[in-house]
């Protein structure tokens, strides 16, 4: 038997003002995009902004549906939009922000499992990491240099 220890490294920022200006701007855009979320059931609105290597910024919001789980998370909305409209471009950065009408979102809100797998797919496809920043409505911001910090044992095509 062997014990395997896997560690993850994140950078934590206490305020949005500590972030590079470029990332602050992405958070402003992601927060503004939250208003377009369709979240009548969960009352949990998520906004995402992606930066592509061609300079484009892609926004995404969660889109719910009464026939769960037919909706889509904001992360996948943005990823699929980027891949559909700019298939040759690499995704460099992703920022995620969330707010809830039911409670204060003061903890960093990471992507769900399905979104982690989708982000992993794009990191593998483009053969380069995607920086991921995430926060709640207020509070600390976490930065991960790659999805591998959030999903260290990635399921990928090599395993099929």
Provide the annotated active-site residues.
75
Number of Cβ atoms within 10 Å of the Cβ of 35: 9
Strands across the sheet with 44-52, in order? 11-13, 141-144, 131-135, 91-100, 44-52, 57-61
Q: Rounded distance, CA 130 to CA 143, Å?
A: 11
Q: Rounded distance, CA 17 to CA 37, Å?
A: 25
Please give the structure tokens belonging to residue 7. 């560690």
Taking phi first (over 0 means left), then psi (-120 to 50 degrees means alpha), and beta for anything else, what does residue 139 get? left
CA separation, residue 69 to residues 5, 66, 72, 73, 150 (Å): 34, 8, 8, 10, 22
């Amino acid at each position: 038997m062997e014990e395997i220890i896997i560690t993850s490294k994140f950078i934590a920022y206490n305020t949005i003002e500590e972030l590079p200006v470029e990332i602050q701007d992405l958070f402003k855009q992601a927060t503004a995009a939250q208003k377009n979320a369709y979240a009548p059931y969960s009352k949990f609105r998520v906004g995402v902004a992606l930066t592509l290597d061609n300079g484009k910024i892609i926004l995404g919001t969660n889109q719910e549906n009464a026939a769960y789980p037919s909706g889509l998370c904001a992360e996948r909305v943005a990823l699929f939009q980027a891949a559909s409209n700019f298939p040759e471009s690499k995704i460099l950065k992703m920022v995620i922000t969330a707010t809830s009408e039911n409670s204060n979102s003061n903890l960093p809100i990471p992507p769900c499992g399905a979104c982690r797998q989708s982000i992993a797919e794009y990191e593998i496809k483009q053969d380069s990491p995607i920086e991921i920043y995430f926060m709640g409505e207020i509070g600390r911001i976490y930065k991960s240099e790659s999805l591998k910090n959030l999903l260290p044992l990635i399921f990928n095509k090599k395993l099929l």
